[in-house]
């Protein structure tokens, strides 16, 4: 029998951040595809759309009017997922939907409070993040800093999630370049799993400042010197962009701070610019991969708030989860085995990183002008 090959043989990879596994089946990339084909995201849009609820000066669906903004613009989400005030969910209220059997053991509810905001990245309706300049993306990062710092001062807020859904394929309801902020009274499940792993790693090591992601970044930078182990896509002085060893989505990436930074508010001026440059460089490569406006969901994981008791063990990083698999029109689905058992991927992390590294650092639209 031939030797084991990570490019041909199935195997499972462990994610130490979430304590979960992913099944890798690289040989399945060769299978023919007769499944669903999406419409390629190459829509041409005007710089200003009078019907867009996010363009400067326009009225939104609720009647509120946007400012005539010229950079970033933040406003409360008109259709927020959570609210700052609402009645508490009492045991009597829970009984209305759960009955009276096993309340507190099998039927549990927590009332959730919070705030939701929208952050427009640019007044231009026709641009996306990879088409913005580093200065313009730096303004987005500074807006994140201001929003995060302000919400961290609210005693009712215990978690701040900054994120972007890009593209209709990822459920984005408006193509105008924007992200969202959801601030909650409790830490949600996914970041809670990561924080638990970061705490456990620190407790398992003798050094008081031991950090799982600091160690992981150091290992991946060392691995980058040999092609078979290179999962780094690009890097600058402050951040490294890599395809994580345990990636689930075909071209999933992380942007990780090279030094131990707990949250976005701690970034200095140069680090803000370096993060903006890393975001631009990565998303340009995404768009160039299939010559389309590459969809993804992206979000920051960091200390839940600046004052959270576990902030010291947290390490700022961004997750990018793009769905495209083979082309601009063929996406990955998390179904079947992945819903019933565990996630599975075809392309290996090393293959995905190599393909992203090979992309032109100049946006494909720039070559057409």
Q: Which residues are catalytic?
A: 178
- Give the dihedral sign, CA 216/221/226/227: positive
Q: Are 18 and 197 in contact (CB under 8 A)?
A: yes
Q: Are 161 and 119 in contact (CB under 8 A)?
A: no
CA distances for 291 relative to 40, 178, 285, 320, 327, angstroms: 9, 21, 9, 18, 9
Helix pair angle (189-204, 212-223), 10° resolution = 80
Q: Give me 130's structure tokens.
A: 């990879």
Three-class secondary structure of residue 203 per DSSP? helix
Q: How far is 302 from 314, CA to CA, in rounded Å?
A: 6
Burial (0-12, 13-18, 19+ Cβ within 10 Å), 264: buried
């Amino acid at each position: 029998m031939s030797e084991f090959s990570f490019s041909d043989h199935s195997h499972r990879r462990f994610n130490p951040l979430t304590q979960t596994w992913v099944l890798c089946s690289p040989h399945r990339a060769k299978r023919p595809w007769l499944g669903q084909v999406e419409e390629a995201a190459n829509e041409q849009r005007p710089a200003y759309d009078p019907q867009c609820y996010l363009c400067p000066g326009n009225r939104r669906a609720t009647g509120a009017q946007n400012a005539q903004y010229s950079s970033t613009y933040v406003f409360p989400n008109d259709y927020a997922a959570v609210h700052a005030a609402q009645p508490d969910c009492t045991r009597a209220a829970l009984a209305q939907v759960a009955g009276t059997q096993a309340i507190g053991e099998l039927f549990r509810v927590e009332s959730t409070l919070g705030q939701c905001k929208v952050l427009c990245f640019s007044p231009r309706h026709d641009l996306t993040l990879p088409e913005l300049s580093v200065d313009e993306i730096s303004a987005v990062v500074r807006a994140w800093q201001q929003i995060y710092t302000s919400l961290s001062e609210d005693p009712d807020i215990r978690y701040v999630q900054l994120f972007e859904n890009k593209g209709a394929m990822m459920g984005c309801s408006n193509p105008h370049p924007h992200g969202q902020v959801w601030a909650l009274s409790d830490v949600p499940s996914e970041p809670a799993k990561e924080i638990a792993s970061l705490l456990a790693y620190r407790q398992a090591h003798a050094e008081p400042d031991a950090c799982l992601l600091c160690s992981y970044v150091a290992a991946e930078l060392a691995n980058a010197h040999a092609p078979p182990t290179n999962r780094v896509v690009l890097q600058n002085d402050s951040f490294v962009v890599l395809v994580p060893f345990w990636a689930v989505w075909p071209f999933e990436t992380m942007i990780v701070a090279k030094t131990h930074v707990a949250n976005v508010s701690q970034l200095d001026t140069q680090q803000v610019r370096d993060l903006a440059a890393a975001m631009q460089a990565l998303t340009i490569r995404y768009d160039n991969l299939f010559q389309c406006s590459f969809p993804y969901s992206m979000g920051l994981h960091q200390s839940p708030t600046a004052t959270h008791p576990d902030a010291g063990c947290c390490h700022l990083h961004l997750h990018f989860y793009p769905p495209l698999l083979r082309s601009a029109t063929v996406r990955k689905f998390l179904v079947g085995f992945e819903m019933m058992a565990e996630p599975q991927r075809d392309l290996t992390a090393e293959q995905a990183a190599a393909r992203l590294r090979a992309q032109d650092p100049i946006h494909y639209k720039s070559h057409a002008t």
